Structure 1
Amino acid sequence: MNDPIKSSLSKVPAVNLVFWLIKIAATTLGETGGDAVSMSMNLGYLLSTAIFFGLFLIAVFVQIKSRQFHPYVYWTTIIATTTVGTTLADFADRSLGIGYAGGSTLLLALLLASLFVWYRSMGSIAVESITTPKAEAFYWLTIMFSQTLGTALGDWTADSAGFGYDGAALLFGGLLGILAAAYFWTRLSRTLLFWGAFILTRPLGAVVGDFLDKPVASGGLELSRYSATAALLAFIIACILVFPQRPATNQSH
C-alpha cells in the first residue's frame, strides 16, 4: 500500500515514457544552451560554468524548499544541471587538458562515490524514496555528476572514438534500448536500470545537440544554437502542458 505521507512529500515526477522524452530533450537543450553561452557568446567555459552553477544552486534551493511537486521547478533544475554539466565537462576536458578519457574517469568516480554515500546514508537511492531534503540534496548532486559525465562520454565517443554524432547517437540509443528491454523482460533492479538509463540519456542528448549545431564539415547540421535551444524548450513546455505529470509514489522503477 502506498504511504500517503511519502506520496505527498515526493517532489520528483513519476518515471514514465513522457519523463524520458522530456529528459532527452532537456539534455539536448543543455548541450545547445551551454554551447550558446560558452561559444556563441564567447564567454568561455570557466565563466559559463560559474554562471550556470549559480543558476543550478538557485534552482536546487527552490526545488528543495518547495512543499510539493512542481513540474516546471523540477525540469528547470534538470536543465540547470545539464547546462552546467556541458560547460563543466568542456572546461575539464579542454581547458584543464585532462582529455575526454581523464574527465570521464574522474566524473565516473565522483558519480559512483555520490551514489555509494547516498545509499549508505539513506538506505535507498530509489526515486520513490526521495521525500526528504537530505535525499533531495543527494539526488541533485548525483544528477549533476551524471550530466557532466554524460557530456564527457558523448564527446569522447563522437570525437575521440570516431563514431561521429550519428554513430554515437545510435550507440547510446541502442544501449538505452537494451535497458528498456531489461526493464520489461527481466527482473533486474528497477533502481539500477533507472540510473543506468538516466546516465545514458545525457551522452545521447550531448551528441544529438552537437549534431544540431556543429558545422556541416564536422558532421553537424550547423543550426543556430539559439533557435535549437528555443525549439527544445518549447517542446519541453508543450510536453508538460499536454501530459500533466504526477509525483513519484512507492512504485518500482
Structure 2
Amino acid sequence: MSADISAAVPAHGPTGAARPRPRPRRNKVPEVTPYFWVIKILCTTVGETAADLLNEKLGLGLTGVSLLMSAVLAGALVAQFRTAAYRPGVYWSAVALISVVGTLLSDNLTDNLGVPLEASTAAFALLLAVVFVLWFRSERTLSIHHIDTARREFFYWLAVLFTFALGTAAGDLVAERLDLGYSLSAVLFAAALAVVAAARSTRALGAVGSFWTAYVLTRPLGASLGDYLAQPFTDGGLGIGTVLTSVLFLAVVLVLVVFLTVTRRDVAAPEDGGPQEG
C-alpha cells in the first residue's frame, strides 16, 4: 500500500515545481582491481626511495624534510577532499605523498628519537587498530566501497597513513634488525601476501580483513623491492640508486594513472543494492 501511495504522489514542491532529487554520493576511492595493487606497490617503492633521496639531497635534515613533505601532503589531501568523486590523478598523488610521509614518520622515531623498531612497529599497529575501532564505532563498517562522506574519508586516510608507517617499521625490522636482507625480505612479504590471498579465496578471511592486511603487507614488500634496487652492492642491493629507481617507478605510475583516467577501469558502476563490504 505504501508503495502505491508514494508512486501516486508527484515529486513537486508547494508551488508545483519539480523537487530536485538528491544526487547519490559517489565513492572517493578506486575499485580494488589488479591496477590498484600494482600502483599501490609502485607508490610504496617510490615512497621509500624518494624519502631517502630527499633526505640526502635537500640538506634539510630528516626533521626538515618531514615537515616539508607533510605540508605538501596536506595540500594534496585538501585537493582530494574537495573532489566530488574519485579522480585517479588526485587520489594517487595523495597515496604517493602519504607513502613518503609514512616512511619519514617511522624514520624519525628510529633515527631521531632512538625508538627501537620493535616498539615503533607495535605502536603503529596499536594506532592502526584504534583508528579501525573508532571508524567502525562511528560508521558501523570499514568498507572502502562507500568512502562517500568527509568523516569516512578522514578515517580512510588516517588508516592509510598508519598502514604505511607500520609497514615501514615492520619492513625495516625484518630486513635490518633480523638481518634477512632486502631480497629475502621481499620474498617473505610476497609469501605472506599469497597466504592472505589464499585465505580470502577459501573465505577463511573476510573481504575487509584481507584488504587491510594486504594493504599493510604491500608496504614492506614495495619498500624491500625499492631498497634492493637502489641500495649499493655492499649493502645487499643492486646499486641502481635512489634517483633512477624513483624516476622509473614514478614513470610507470604516471602511465597507469593516465590509462585509468582515460579508460575508467577502476571506477565502480552505480550500485542498485545495499552496501558491500571489502
Q: TM-score range by the shorter chain?
A: over 0.9
In the other structure, the counterpart of 2:5 is none
In the other structure, the counterpart of 1:144 is 161
Q: Deviations over 1:70-97 (max 9, x none)?
A: 0010000001110001111111112100
In the other structure, the counterpart of 2:87 is 70
Task: List aligned pairs for 1:152-191, cutoff 5 A.
Answer: 152-191=169-208
Q: Deviations over 1:125-174 (max 9, x none)?
A: 11012110110011001100110111111111000011110111011000
Q: Deviations over 1:26-78 (max 9, x none)?
A: 00000011111012433322111111111111111111111121001000000
In the other structure, the counterpart of 2:63 is 46
**Contact 1:11/1:247, CA 8 A, preserved across alignment:** no
**Contact 2:32/2:266, CA 8 A, preserved across alignment:** no
**Contact 1:29/1:209, CA 8 A, preserved across alignment:** yes
Q: Is it true that 1:29 corresponds to 2:49 in the alignment?
A: no
Q: Deviations over 1:89-119 (max 9, x none)?
A: 1111121001211111111111111111111
Q: Distance between the aligned counterparts of 2:107 and 2:240, measured in 1?
A: 20
Q: Is it true that 1:85 corresponds to 2:102 in the alignment?
A: yes
Contiguous gaps of at least 5 residues in structure 1: none
**Contact 1:38/1:87, CA 8 A, preserved across alignment:** no
Q: Select 1:109's aligned residue among 113, 126, 145.
A: 126
Q: Distance between the aligned counterparts of 2:204 and 2:114, measured in 1?
A: 42
CA shift, 1:223, in A, is: 1.6
| Seq. identity, % | 33
Q: Distance between the aligned counterparts of 2:193 and 2:57, measured in 1?
A: 31
Q: Distance between the aligned counterparts of 2:75 and 2:139, measured in 1?
A: 24
Structure 1 residues 239 and 251, CA gap change in structure 2 (3 angstroms): farther
**Contact 1:45/1:88, CA 8 A, preserved across alignment:** no
Provide the TM-score with structure 2 as the length reference. 0.85
Counterpart code for 2:239? E
Q: Select 1:130's aligned residue among 147, 159, 168.
A: 147
Q: Is it true that 1:215 corresponds to 2:235 in the alignment?
A: no
In the other structure, the counterpart of 2:7 is none
Provide the TM-score with structure 1 as the length reference. 0.93
Q: Distance between the aligned counterparts of 1:5 and 1:233, measured in 2?
A: 36
CA shift, 1:187, in A, is: 4.9
Q: Secondary structure at the match of 2:29?
A: coil
Q: Deviations over 1:230-250 (max 9, x none)?
A: 111111111223343433565
**Contact 1:146/1:202, CA 8 A, preserved across alignment:** yes
**Contact 1:93/1:102, CA 8 A, preserved across alignment:** no
Which stretch has the larger CA shift, 178-187 or 202-211? Answer: 178-187
Q: Which runs of 4+ in 1 moved over 6 A?
A: none
In the other structure, the counterpart of 1:247 is 267
Structure with greater Cα Rg? 2
Which stretch has the larger CA shift, 174-183 or 76-85? Answer: 174-183
Which stretch has the larger CA shift, 218-227 or 137-146? Answer: 218-227
Q: Distance between the aligned counterparts of 1:74 and 1:141, measured in 2?
A: 14
Contiguous gaps of at least 5 residues in structure 2: 1-21
Structure 1 residues 42 and 219, CA gap change in structure 2 (3 angstroms): farther
Structure 1 residues 181 and 38, CA gap change in structure 2 (3 angstroms): same
CA shift, 1:5, in A, is: 5.8
CA shift, 1:184, in A, is: 1.9
Q: Which has the higher contact order (CA 8 A, sep 6+)?
A: 1
In the other structure, the counterpart of 2:10 is none
